[in-house]
């Protein structure tokens, strides 16, 4: 199943999640008017989410994203891990 959710998050930034899933997340694309440094880091976050059970809690997804951000010294600007998690949960529920 494919779903797309576009929403303004806290702070007014627009974020779009395009996700393919059945039992697990098979593919995910996160775009919007936020920034990450280094720029290619979004792909590391997206790749880390592939395979996660669609019934995972927001806390599990947030912790997964936080781990990747910390391990790769990613700087999120205009978005945070919790906002990404909330949109992922919204898109797969």
pLDDT tens digit string along 38-82?
Answer: 988 999 999 999 999 999 999 999 999 999 999 999 999 999 999
User: 11 pLDDT exceeds 90?
Assistant: no
Q: What does the pLDDT read at residue 12?
A: 87
Other Cβ atoms less than 10 A from the Cβ of 12: the count is: 8
User: 10 pLDDT exceeds 90?
Assistant: no
Do the Cβ atoms of 89 and 58 come closer than 8 Å?
yes
Do the Cβ atoms of 15 and 34 come closer than 8 Å?
yes
What domains can be seen in the chain, in order of their start residue?
2-92 (3.30.390.50)
Other Cβ atoms less than 10 A from the Cβ of 70: the count is: 10
Rounded to an integer, the average pLDDT of 3-32 is: 95
DSSP of 33-66, one letter per residue?
S-EEESTTHHHHHHHHHTT-BTT--HHHHHHHHH
């Amino acid at each position: 199943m494919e779903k797309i959710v576009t929403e303004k998050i806290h702070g007014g930034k627009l974020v779009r999640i395009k996700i393919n899933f059945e039992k697990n997340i098979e593919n995910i694309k996160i775009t919007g008017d936020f920034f990450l440094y280094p720029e290619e880091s979004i792909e590391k976050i997206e790749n880390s989410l592939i395979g996660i059970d669609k019934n995972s809690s927001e806390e599990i997804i947030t912790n997964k994203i936080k781990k990747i951000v910390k391990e790769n010294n990613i700087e999120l600007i205009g978005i945070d891990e919790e906002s990404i998690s909330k949109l992922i949960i919204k898109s797969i529920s």
